[in-house]
Amino acid sequence: MTTPTIELKPSANPLSAAEREAILANPGFGRHFTDHMVTIKWTEGRGWHDGQLVPYAPLSLDPATMVLHYAQEIFEGLKAYRRPDGSVATFRPEKNAQRFQSSSRRLGMPELPVETFIEACDALVKQDQDWVPAHGGEESLYLRPFMIATEVGLGVKPANEYLFIVIASPAGAYFPGGVKPVSIWVSEDRVRAVPGGMGDAKTGGNYAASLLAQAEAATKGCDQVCYLDAIERKWVEELGGMNLYFVYGNKIITPSLTGSILEGVTRDSLLTVARDLGYEAEEGRVSVDQWQRDSENGTLTEVFACGTAAVITPVGTVKRAGAEWQQSGGEPGEVTQRLRRALLDIQRGTAEDVHGWMHTL
């Protein structure tokens, strides 16, 4: 099967520079979209075809389109950053492309070649590069590649037609007023994913399943939910949209990939960045009881969450049924801040890219 090249059919009416700048002055997150999108089709027997860059526009779908009924959908999230010399680069796009393939396998969908995934992201960022915020702050252009089952019919089976799309949305600084710790509700009765399930795939269903627990966290006055393993309800897994790290002095530990945790690109990068900075970095198991005990006795010095959106977020207040504690006195810890700065400097091009992680256009 051949890999499509992307045919460019740009918009005759993109937003004016003034309209775009007005959006970029206060983009928020996921509220505004650039002038274009890339679409590629897949059909049984034909493979990937009709790669196009077209004006951003609504989709027209038959009400019986399979994705609307059986949720055969996967997505990714990655960012393009403006560098000091004005060029634009994405962060480790091949990791997102590989995770997209592994999500496809789990949901019985066709695998988009890694190079096609990157080519599609590059084509969109190149076309809409004026939408990448200026260098200097923490703003970026967030890319959202996704794929849906487009066969029409109500039989439950893997579809024989799919549509891959990439859209882009300017993203403001996650912490416009300075890094602020998040509060966490540890959910001991609801789980996000089960062994053998699809917790390690980036598919909409996992996020739908997390919304009720997220609403419960809000009623407890917390920003985010921390999920435990589904069997023992004991081992810390991750947050609804971020991985977790535990800092014991000079050592950082993140929960091992059990199959029910999403393998974050930020999580993976931090294992390396931390070692570069002289910390010990490990994957392992941390129980919620250990978390509470070690916070209270002071050996667990910091906890932080990590993901593409916020890069690194310190954890402040932690609540579980019958207990509540303050991590690091509720302030962003020193290791958390140092790692955050080191990774952001690589992403924004102000530190040397020693691992070759930045993909320039």
Enumerate binding residues for ligand PMP (CB under 6 A): 77, 238, 241-243, 262, 264-267, 307-308
- Among residues 243, 334, 242, 245, the alpha carbon closest in space to that of 281 is found at 245
Q: Which is nearer to ligand PMP, 22 or 212 (CB)?
A: 212
Q: Buried b vs exposed e over 17-45: b needs ≥16 C-beta within 10 Å?
A: eeebeebbeebeeeebbbbbbbbbbbeee
State the nearest-atom distance from the C-beta of 291 to ligand PMP, in Å. Answer: 18
State the nearest-atom distance from the C-beta of 187 to ligand PMP, in Å. Answer: 14
Q: Say how far apart CA 328 and CA 142 lie, in whole Å.
A: 31
Q: Partners of 303 in the beta sheet?
A: 246
Q: Which is nearer to ligand PMP, 159 or 228 (CB)?
A: 228
State the nearest-atom distance from the C-beta of 140 to ligand PMP, in Å. Answer: 12
Q: Which is nearer to ligand PMP, 83 or 144 (CB)?
A: 144
Q: Which is nearer to ligand PMP, 72 or 266 (CB)?
A: 266
State the nearest-atom distance from the C-beta of 224 to ligand PMP, in Å. Answer: 11
Q: Which is nearer to ligand PMP, 24 or 265 (CB)?
A: 265
State the nearest-atom distance from the C-beta of 236 to ligand PMP, in Å. Answer: 13
Q: Show the tokens assigned to 11.
A: 């918009």
Q: Show the tokens assigned to 193.
A: 């994913």
Long-range CB contacts (< 8 A, 24+ apart) of 266-275? 266/306, 266/307, 266/308, 266/311, 266/312, 266/343, 267/243, 267/306, 268/95, 269/92, 269/343, 269/357, 270/245, 270/306, 270/312, 270/339, 270/343, 272/355, 273/339, 273/342, 273/343, 273/346, 274/339
Q: Show the tokens assigned to 276.
A: 């570069």
Q: Which is nearer to ligand PMP, 184 or 242 (CB)?
A: 242
Q: Say how far apart CA 199 and CA 343 lie, in whole Å.
A: 26
State the nearest-atom distance from the C-beta of 243 to ligand PMP, in Å. Answer: 5
State the nearest-atom distance from the C-beta of 335 to ligand PMP, in Å. Answer: 18
State the nearest-atom distance from the C-beta of 77 to ligand PMP, in Å. Answer: 5
Contact (Cβ atoms closer than 8 angstroms) between residue 311 and residue 344:
yes
Q: Which is nearer to ligand PMP, 308 or 327 (CB)?
A: 308
DSSP codes, 294-306: HHHTT---EEEEE
Q: Show the tokens assigned to 197.
A: 């399930």
Q: Which is nearer to ligand PMP, 100 or 162 (CB)?
A: 100
